[in-house]
Amino acid sequence: MKAIIFDFDGTLANTLPICYYAFQSVFKEYDNREITPSEIIEMFGPSEVGILRKNLLSARKDEAIEYFYQQYARFHKDLVIANKDIHKIVTLLKEMDIKLGIFTGKAKRSLDISLEKLDMEGLFDCLITGDDVSKPKPDPEGLVKALSLLKVESSEAIFVGDSDADIIAGVQANVFTIGVQWLPEYQTATFSEQPNLLISSVTEFENYVKAGVR
């Protein structure tokens, strides 16, 4: 195992609550409609910009997108608590000289906000966001790009995620997949595409990594 690539929302950080809040705020402000977290999850795939351009009825889309990021940054501290165990395992992986990447559907702007506020800047060797792909998850385009940037073969990498889209992308890229349900909020309770391994705690993942099992 030379590289581990992570999804972000619901995997590396419990950021789903701030995502829900920011989207709900935008739809309420610009469309005067209430949407549920499950409805938001159904929209996931493209970046926030793509989601709003596709689903927002209001013609004031550019203004609404800026409002989303204002809400996301303003309430991030209130709605997202840094997970010390995840920070610890990521730091451990770096000390083990394992290459680290992120492949997320988030736009670079929101990912940068979260990495800065959660003190996770500089921990990853490559960042692939929704801005960097033409085809969002479950298409493996971003994962293939991450493998290329990390200079590893698919057989040398692991992809860790919390959603069906993550696991499907990993399978299509011929990467070993780990489905995780270790944060309070995650996207998939029952995976339609079974990951190679299902892990429910960061401690379990740490033990797996230390054992060098692959």
Element (H, E) at 158: strand 157-161
For the question of whether the overall pTM of this predicted structure is more than 0.75, the answer is yes
Pairwise CA distance, residues 19 & 107, whole Å: 12
Give the span between the Cα atoms of 41 and 59, in whole angstroms.
23
Q: Which of 146, 166, 164, 162 is nearest to 154 (CA)?
A: 146
Return per-residue pLDDT of the chain as tens, 214 residues: 899 999 999 999 999 999 999 999 999 999 999 999 999 999 998 999 999 999 999 999 999 999 999 999 999 999 999 999 999 999 999 999 999 999 999 999 999 999 999 999 999 999 999 999 999 999 999 999 999 999 999 999 999 999 999 999 999 999 999 999 999 878 787 899 999 999 999 999 999 998 875 5
